[in-house]
Amino acid sequence: MAGIKKRPISPRQKMINLMYVVLMAMLALNVSTDVLNGFSIVEKSLNRTTANSTKENSSIYRNFDEQMKSNPEKVKEWFDKALYVKHMSDSLFSFADILKHEIVREADGAKGDVNNIRNKEDLESATRVMLAPGSGRGKQLYKAIVSFRERILQLVSDKEQRAIIASNLSTDVPRKDVLLGRNWQESMFENMPVAAATTLLTKLQSDVRYAEGEVLHSLINNIDVKDVRVNSLNAYVIPNAQTIVQGGRFSARIIMAAVDTTQKPRVFIGNRPANLHNGVYEFNCGSTGDFTFNGFIQMTDRSGQTLRRDFSQKYTVVAPSATVSADLMNVLYAGYSNPMSVSVPGVPNNQIIATMSGGTLTPTGPGKYIAHPAKVGEDAVITISSKMNGGMQKMGEFKFRVRRLPDPTAYIAYNDAQGNPIHYVGGRGFSKSTLVSVDGIGAAIDDGLLNIPFRVVSFETVFFDNMGNAIPEVSNSDKFTSRQKSIFNRLTRGRRFYISRIQAVGPDGTTRSLPQSLEVIVN
């Protein structure tokens, strides 16, 4: 943040101070009580000035809070001083406010209102509150002003500021009162009308907020919250990439941190000056391998001395290459969404372009695609290119054999006692109660690599009676018919039946006749 300037006394404040002096002089001449109403005008003006000062000071305190949260190490010293200023300013301000209320209540009674004084001309109330033997508050106020003035001036280094604050908070006794043997509190409050006494205390409050504000401005300037101060300068090379494909272009930004924007540093590659455009250094990479380039940066500091910072940057140039892998196996299946992964070493995924002949290749995410081969028996070719130096560079071609999806395996699906899904594929005992509860059969390719469901459209169950005669029952869906379930209920332990002639449709849309039967042994 830019430094906050010292605030001069505004013309408004000067006018208020002058009005206060004039009214006090008129009071000394015993002018009519109508003049006392003039103190109300000064009182209101002082209150507005004090409110504005309080608002401005509150803004600075909020600024301190924000900077303390963002950079406590840098701000804490000044933040603590600001809190100290706030504490002692609020203390004296509140004490003056208490005295005003006490004087008004002394004049107007317990319900007296500082903002609406009835007995403004009362000459006794201020005297009793401030100067009564043993209980007078004047001496306490005098000590509080002296203490505040001494402590606040310790935080102000500017001579003009110190003089203004010291004058505003002066507790000097006028010469004529000194000759009469009067102290400060007697000089200020003895036989003082209520209107004048409260205005005097309001002016003290205004002076307190003014002094508080002057110190806060000095403290905030000391930290200069938006000034970035650098205690270390280093040279840096920032390459766009440290791995470059052969024939590609190396690009790097060479800077000194932090750089004074009012002067340009000189960059040397090796011992030769480099003419950089916007701080970018570029050159072509013609051969593969690991390389390093060195140099230094020179600039002049404010004292006129030359600063030099050396730099060194490694980079690697690789031959064009790419990686394409089938996520499932080394073939592609026709009529199926084959997930694919594509990458090129040293090239971001968003700079890679993949295309496919003999089918379609659809991107699904960074480096991820779905391949749909067109025809069984014809190879699918995936071509990889990358965006480099404003153009496209081919990185490689990859051929994949296209096969028909294998036949699925039929199963009966159920859940075990723990609720885990189980696929029964025959060859062992199957609980009769479970058999009666299941709805039908399913089919899928599930060999550890593929997990592809098929839709069963028909099947046949074959039962054998006691004479060994086969009893076939056909279902034209994937569900057991009511007749088939009726037979299940009559089966006894050890009996078996077969599910065969299973027809299923795969994701490629073709209908398969499954060659194997499912043997079910009831137990």
Q: What mean pLDDT do residues 40-60 have?
A: 87
Residue 388, pLDDT above cutoff 80 = no
Number of H helices, E strands in the chain: 11, 25
Q: Which residues contact 335 (CB under 8 A, 6 or more apart)?
A: 372, 404, 405, 506, 507, 508, 509, 510
DSSP string, 348-411: -GGGEEEEEESEEEEEEETTEEEEEE-STTS-EEEEEEEEETTEEEEEEEEEEEEEPPPPPEEE
- Enumerate domains of the chain plus CATH numbers: 11-223 (no CATH), 234-318 (2.60.40.1930), 324-403 (2.60.40.60), 409-522 (no CATH)
Confidence of residue 97 (pLDDT cuts 50, 70, 90): very high
Strand partners, 405: none
Cβ atoms of residues 209 and 54 within 8 Å: yes
Q: What was the pLDDT predicted at 243?
A: 60
Q: What mean pLDDT do residues 414-422 have?
A: 90
DSSP 170: -
Residue 236, pLDDT above cutoff 80 = no
Q: Between 54 and 259, whose confidence is greater? A: 54
Q: Which amino acid is at 132?
A: A
CA atoms within 13 Å, Cβ hemisphere of 145: 23
Residue 91, pLDDT above cutoff 70 = yes
Q: What mean pLDDT do residues 329-356 have?
A: 85
Q: Which amino acid is at 254?
A: I
Question: Which tokens sit at 261?
Answer: 């924007």
Q: What was the pLDDT predicted at 228?
A: 37
What's the rounded Cα separation, in Å, for the pair 474 and 483?
9
Q: What was the pLDDT predicted at 226?
A: 39
Most confident of 89-103, 259-273, 283-297, 307-321: 89-103
Q: What was the pLDDT predicted at 221?
A: 79
Residue 521, pLDDT above cutoff 60 = yes
Longest dimension (CA), the chain: 145
Instruction: Say which range, 9-23, 62-76, 177-191, 401-415, has the weakest mean pLDDT.
Output: 9-23
Q: Between 334 and 1, whose confidence is greater? A: 334
Confidence of residue 24 (pLDDT cuts 50, 70, 90): low
Is residue 52 classed as helix, strand or coil in its secondary structure? helix
DSSP 166: H
Residue 105, pLDDT above cutoff 90 = yes
Q: What mean pLDDT do residues 130-150 have?
A: 93
Confidence of residue 472 (pLDDT cuts 50, 70, 90): very high
Cβ atoms of residues 499 and 461 within 8 Å: yes
Residue 249, pLDDT above cutoff 80 = no
Q: What was the pLDDT predicted at 301?
A: 62
Confidence of residue 229 (pLDDT cuts 50, 70, 90): very low
Cβ atoms of residues 372 and 355 within 8 Å: no
Q: Between 36 and 40, whose confidence is greater? A: 40
Q: What was the pLDDT predicted at 271?
A: 86
Confidence of residue 280 (pLDDT cuts 50, 70, 90): confident
Residues 307-346 as b/e (b if ≥16 CB within 10 A, e otherwise) read eebebebebebbebebebebebeeebbbbbebebebbbeb
